[in-house]
Amino acid sequence: MINFTIKFQYGSPIYEQVVYAVKKAVVTGQLKPGDIFPSVREMAKELRINPNTAQKVIAHLARERIIEIKPGIGSLVSELNTATKSQRDQILNNEVEKLVVESKRLSIKREDVIDAINRNWKLDK
């Protein structure tokens, strides 16, 4: 059974979209730590993607420690992680900078960006 939702878009790789959907589902509580995660073949069948693509999703999620692989069993959703220093820097400098640059370029007010952050932070959607 698939516990998260996806609507595929053009422009970015399928495996990337699935990885993001899983991250979002974990953060919003749609997927909880300890939940059983769909297997390669099940995901491929349900989402109608190639098994190799599903395998790529599993491998990426495992490398980011979002799921834990239990050989012969499948995978389990992990607890939320704590950021390493480099991950923290990547987000609080580079990612935020990109958002700020794009906002200023389009004359979007700082307050509106902050509001959007606060609004998105309560995402039980």
Provide the binding-site residues for DNA, judged by CB under 7 A.
13-16, 37, 39-42, 49-53, 55-56, 58-59, 62, 69, 71-75
Binding mask 62-81 for a copy of itself (x = CB under 8 A): ----x-------------xx
Alpha-carbon distance 31 to 26, whole Å? Answer: 5
Closest by CA position to 75, among listed 41, 105, 106, 113: 41
The first and second tokens of residue 12, run together, are 């970015």
Binding mask 28-67 for a copy of itself (x = CB under 8 A): --------------------------------------x-
How big is the chain, counted in residues?
Answer: 125
